[in-house]
Structure 1
């Protein structure tokens, strides 16, 4: 984990005044990689400035669980001031609330109340959307298990399901709570993105589309994630074609296809020319959010990984004319 900021090395790596295209976003995984999961909520202003110092004009922020989110909410004025002072945009604010997918109605209800605080925070910070992991299948995880960014396939293969779970009833209740979440988000003028991760009901494009049809809300969108979807063997170009013009937010990172990892672009096995050709074909002109890092990726210099990927996207955009 790269928890210290080497200003001399950074100055040498980044040309003076380098500023990336505003369609290139720095995902919050940058701060997570530097400071651990979750990074302290009281450090948000610092995280904003560090991402701006790299040259990004578009960034992500997160509220991770109820307590973390409450602190971000309390500091929203100072965070908004920092965003504006650095001339940044915040297309997405992530609200990480796995309880929305719980099989327990009381947990879903409490999570929905917290979700509204997340939407109010997002709107106060000037975001256009909120984002969360797609709902996990309601496995019977130990009650003291902390929130994870990714659950390993070994854990998911060996965890049970609640004895009371009736799938049809759960699916109906899940659609209802996500419909309510979409309506809350819409009340704040926000889109609501679901993120694909292993074990979730949206780990593939098809999984998202099935859930979206059940929810039936226009502001429910998919956060395409190249590394996660490549890992679960999805054909990325086909996924892009299925989403078409509804797609406007993508997490960009590379992967070898053998395990969960989020590598700098070009360091894995994804065929990026095929990917950008598909982006061009569907007329994509949204945000490409660099989502590189995490403990699972073993990146020694996270600053250079983000700079490398941002410059690479700039070159790909010159070649393909995406935005």
Structure 2
């Protein structure tokens, strides 16, 4: 019997896997007898991606992910979870031998609260959120946290906006670096008003900040939309890339549903010696259990041989 079915038969909810005393019940190690082969690339799903296959909450989903051969998790909303839930996730992942990917340094609507403006109120709020993120990162054994600088400030020259972002990230790096933590800035394609959109722009900011705590999150979906030429661009900026995210284009679904040749992209990443996490930050192309099976098979197809 698979572990998640065992838990379900006991009537234990994954979101409340606690004893009557309130102590966290130990999770189970990955059951190799029932497990699928482990992926060679370190792909990281997120909660909700397998909600139909593992419907009994976060522990059930983590157990399912481990059984399917995934070795990591990313959870953008980790900062907003309760301490109890963060602790439960961390303990379960530890027992499964999984590691934590990114969560977002999110101080609210951080697209609109822009560091490009140079306003002290935005700087103070950002740095306060960074300090809170340190405590959460320690609790859940995370290393990387996503940051975005926000919108263009239309009344300021681009160089001044860039300088304001560099200053903010220097201050944030002073918070993260002593703890061995890394903020990864993510160029985005969602909105043309967003300041950070390109890999070379992110590379320049990293070089200016000059800290191991400030690197690039290279989201392949966003970069395909904004500039394409993925492998050549990654090659040029490689020494500042610390984290990678996945999504095909168009549609932002699993590999094989769009135009990106993920087999070639992953071959390049592997040959570069990348040992980090590739976060599966996309939706499912098809609904239900069958859609989730198809998603897993899509990753089997593009995983390195």
* TM-score category, normalised to shorter length: 0.7 to 0.9
Which of 181-190 and 83-92 deviates more? 83-92
**Structure 1: how far apart are the matches of 2:219 and 2:198?**
9
| Unaligned runs of at least 5 residues, structure 2 | 1-7, 9-32
The equivalent of 1:308 in structure 2 is 297
**Alpha-carbon spacing, 1:239–1:77, altered in 2? closer, same or farther (3 Å):** same
Matches within 5 A, 1:1-323: 16-21=34-39, 23-28=41-46, 31=48, 46-47=57-58, 49-54=60-65, 55=68, 56-63=70-77, 69-73=79-83, 75-97=85-107, 98=110, 99=113, 101=115, 103=117, 104-132=119-147, 134-138=148-152, 161=154, 163=155, 165=156, 167-198=158-189, 199=192, 200-256=194-250, 261-293=251-283, 299-301=286-288, 303-314=292-303, 317-318=304-305
Larger Rg: 1 or 2?
2
Report the number of matched residues.
Answer: 258
**Structure 1: how far apart are the matches of 2:264 and 2:40?**
23
Superposition RMSD in Å:
3.1
Q: In 1, are the aligned partners of 2:262 and 2:302 still within 8 Å (CA)?
A: no
**Alpha-carbon spacing, 1:311–1:233, altered in 2? closer, same or farther (3 Å):** same
What SS does the aligned partner of 1:223 have?
strand
**Alpha-carbon spacing, 1:185–1:46, altered in 2? closer, same or farther (3 Å):** farther
Residue 86 of structure 1 and its aligned partner are, at CA, apart by: 3.1
**Structure 1: how far apart are the matches of 2:40 and 2:82?**
24
Q: In 2, are the aligned partners of 1:223 and 1:249 still within 8 Å (CA)?
A: yes
**Structure 2: how far apart are the matches of 1:235 and 1:108?**
34
The equivalent of 2:23 in structure 1 is none
What SS does the aligned partner of 1:249 have?
strand
- Deviation per CA, 1:133-177: give whole Å up to 9, x if none: x323335xxxxxxxxxxxxxxxxxxxxx3x5x4554433222111
Residue 125 of structure 1 and its aligned partner are, at CA, apart by: 0.7
What SS does the aligned partner of 2:205 have?
helix
Q: In 2, are the aligned partners of 1:100 and 1:111 still within 8 Å (CA)?
A: no
